[in-house]
């Protein structure tokens, strides 16, 4: 479409026009959509008006989206992430290439800002054309209240969370989240901007008022769905379970579903009880990621890769492997515990598609499984190096961090 112009919003009027379109397209209740835009997303910690981008055709805004920027954790590495949200084309202008132009232009914009990776939670069969691959699964642990004895309610107190709990919740979340790959690193502002949703969270305390943990029940519904749990330490998981069971009983809910990754301390605690643990992959939709800047992403992995190397038998070795990603070679050299990445041909080549690389980088897939498909003849040393660099992980983004 030659007349289509893509740009960032330039003033309050344009921002309002974009909000109007996104609210109409994305929410059944327009006024609630506008409230979300104006009151929730406007106070998002890294909010900038210009991160709302629009497609304009003959003066009219026909497409819009929101970019969020956050830092994600991959072990010891930190990557700058640009998120896509609220991607919308007006009903009258669909299938004309508006979203394509808006997405492509915004991806370039993100690259110019030196963001390493992009992330989104998307509709089926749409975002793969922009280089996004599924990397983020959902996890559910289900308990039947009847399988547990009635808890002693004298061992804890429950009260709704207060803004004064944010620091404690942030600390508990951070402490339990070190193993989660690709998780968004939260500051207090991440709790504040969605405080309206956090107010249903419950603080679990000792009878004398010491905070032990929290859980975030989703309001409504037939079962008690919990979008997040946090504990002070592993020893208080039993008290958190008692508090959740009591809360379910008080609300006449017979089933409890906890949305948290398998390595979360509370989920690990639940393994000793009758429970169902499910992993759900919505391949080609849902949580997807794309690399924006390959060289810089590889460079940014050094802290994690050196940490992994230090724990391995390769820590004193000199060894190398060359990843050929979408035909571009990157030579990864491990030398006495330090890692260097250079964009040049080298030994022990492994060709990968960008999707395979994304899967390995995030730990979504197992390196042995990718190597088996590739039928590569690699030296044992380079296989060992690849196994160190691409450890299996659990990439996950908490419900409250999704955009």
Ligand X SMILES: CC(C)(COP(=O)(O)OP(=O)(O)OC[C@H]1O[C@@H](n2cnc3c(N)ncnc32)[C@H](O)[C@@H]1OP(=O)(O)O)[C@@H](O)C(=O)NCCC(=O)NCCS
* Least distance CB 43 / ligand X (angstroms): 22
Q: Which residues lie below 8 Å from residue 32, measured CB to CB, with a gap of 6+?
A: none
Nearer to ligand X, 127 or 390 (CB): 127
Smallest separation (angstroms) from ligand X to the CB of 98: 4
Distance in Å, CB of 89 to ligand X, minimum: 3
Cβ closest to ligand X, residue 99 vs residue 350: 99
Near ligand X in 271-300, by CB under 6 A: none
CB of 97 to ligand X, least distance (A): 4
Residue nearer to ligand X on the CB measure, 23 or 388? 23
Q: How far is CA 59 from the centre of its chain?
A: 36
Positions in 22-61 near ligand X (CB under 6 A): 25-26
Residue 126 binds to ligand X (criterion: CB under 6 A): yes
3-state secondary structure labels for all residues of the chain: CCCEEEEECCCHHHHHHHHHHHHHHHCCCHHHHHHHHHHHHHHCCCCCHHHEEEEEECCEEEEEEEEEEEEEEECCEEEEEEEEEEEEECHHHCCCCHHHHHHHHHHHHHHHCCCCEEEEEECCCCHHHHCCEEEECEEEEEEEHHHCCCCCHHHCEEEECCHHHHHHHHHHHHHHCCCEECEECCCHHHHHCCHHHHCCCEEEECCCCCEEEEEEECCCCCCEEEEEEEECCHHHHHHHHHHHHHHHHHCCCCEEEECCCCCCHHHHHHCCCCCEEEEECCCCCEEEEEECCHHHHHHHCHHHHHHHHHCCCCCCCEEEEEEEECCEEEEEEEECCEEEEECCCCCCEEEECHHHHHHHHHCCCCHHHHHHHHCCCCCHHHHHHHHHHCCCCEECCCHHHCC
**Closer residue to ligand X, CB minimum distance, 100 or 249:** 100
Count Cβ atoms within 10 A of the Cβ of residue 235 and give its class: 0-12 exposed, 13-18 middle, 19 or more buried: exposed
Closer by beta carbon to ligand X, 57 or else 302: 57
Residue from 122, 131, 217, 230 in contact with ligand X (CB under 6 A): 122
Stretches 2-10, 118-126, 256-264, 330-338: which one binds ligand X (CB under 6 A)? 118-126
- Which lies closer to ligand X via its Cβ, residue 99 or residue 211? 99
- Cβ of residue 102: shortest distance to ligand X, in angstroms? 8
Cβ closest to ligand X, residue 100 vs residue 349:
100
- Residue 47 Ramachandran class (φ > 0 left, ψ -120 to 50 alpha, else beta): beta
- In which region does residue 122 sit, left (phi positive, over 0), alpha (psi from -120 to 50) or beta (all else)? beta
Name the residue number minimizing CB distance to ligand X.
99
Binding to ligand X by CB under 6 A, coded x per residue (else -) over 73-112, reads --------------xxx----xxxxxxx------------
| Between 129 and 276, CB nearer to ligand X | 129
Q: Cβ of residue 397: shortest distance to ligand X, in angstroms?
A: 15
129 binds ligand X (CB under 6 A): yes
Asked if residues 71 and 19 have their Cβ atoms less than 8 Å apart, the reply is no
Instruction: Please give the residues from 344 up to 373 whose contact with ligand X meets the rule CB under 6 A.
Output: none
Output the smallest distance, CB 120 to ligand X, in A. 7
Work out how close the CB of 87 gets to ligand X at its nearest, in angstroms, rounded to a whole number. 4
Q: Which of 325, 322, 314 is nearest to 352 (CA)?
A: 325
Stretch in the footprint of ligand X (CB under 6 A) among 69-77, 123-131, 260-268, 390-398: 123-131
Size of the site for ligand X (CB under 6 A): 17
**Residue 123 CB, nearest approach to ligand X (Å):** 5
CB nearer to ligand X: pick between 87 and 161: 87
User: From the list 11, 59, 92, 125, which residue makes contact with ligand X (rule: CB under 6 A)?
Assistant: 125
Q: Which is nearer to ligand X, 25 or 354 (CB)?
A: 25
The distance of closest approach from Cβ of residue 377 to ligand X in the complex, given in angstroms and rounded to an integer, is 37
Site residues for ligand X per CB under 6 A: 25-26, 87-89, 94-100, 122-123, 125-126, 129
């Amino acid at each position: 479409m030659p007349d289509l112009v893509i740009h960032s919003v330039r003033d309050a009027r344009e921002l309002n026009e974009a909000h109007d379109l996104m609210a109409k397209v994305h929410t059944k209740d327009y006024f609630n959509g506008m409230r979300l835009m104006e009151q929730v997303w406007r106070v998002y910690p890294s909010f900038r008006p210009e991160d709302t981008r629009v497609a304009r055709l003959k003066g009219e805004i026909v497409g819009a989206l929101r970019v969020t920027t956050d830092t994600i954790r991959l072990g010891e590495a930190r990557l700058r992430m640009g998120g896509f949200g609220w991607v919308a084309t007006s009903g009258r202008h669909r299938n004309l290439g508006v979203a394509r132009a808006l997405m492509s232009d915004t991806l370039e914009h993100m690259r110019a800002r030196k963001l390493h990776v992009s992330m989104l939670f998307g509709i089926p069969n749409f975002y793969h054309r922009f280089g996004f691959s599924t990397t983020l699964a959902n996890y559910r642990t289900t308990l039947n209240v009847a399988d547990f004895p009635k808890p002693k309610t004298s061992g804890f107190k429950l009260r709704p969370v207060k803004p004064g709990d944010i620091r404690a919740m942030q600390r508990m979340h951070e402490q339990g989240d070190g193993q989660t790959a690709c998780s968004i690193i939260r500051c207090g502002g991440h709790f504040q901007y969605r405080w309206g949703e956090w107010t249903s969270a419950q603080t679990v305390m000792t009878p004398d008022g010491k905070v032990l943990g929290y859980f975030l029940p989703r309001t409504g519904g037939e079962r008690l769905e919990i979008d997040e749990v946090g504990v002070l330490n592993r020893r208080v998981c039993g008290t958190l379970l008692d508090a959740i069971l009591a809360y379910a009983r008080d609300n006449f809910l017979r089933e409890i579903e906890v949305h948290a990754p398998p390595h979360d301390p509370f989920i690990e605690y639940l393994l000793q009880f009758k429970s169902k643990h499910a992993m759900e992959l919505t391949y080609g939709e849902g949580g997807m990621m794309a690399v924006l800047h390959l060289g810089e992403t590889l460079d940014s992995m050094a802290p994690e890769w050196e940490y992994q190397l230090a724990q391995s038998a390769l820590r004193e070795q000199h060894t190398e492997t060359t990843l050929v990603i979408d035909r571009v070679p990157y030579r990864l050299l491990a030398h006495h515990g330090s890692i260097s990445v250079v964009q040049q041909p080298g030994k022990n080549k492994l060709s990968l598609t960008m999707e395979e690389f994304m899967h390995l980088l995030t730990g979504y897939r197992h390196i042995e499984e990718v190597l088996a498909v590739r039928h590569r003849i690699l030296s044992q040393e380079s296989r060992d190096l690849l196994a160190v660099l691409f450890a299996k992980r659990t990439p996950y983004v908490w419900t409250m961090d999704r955009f």
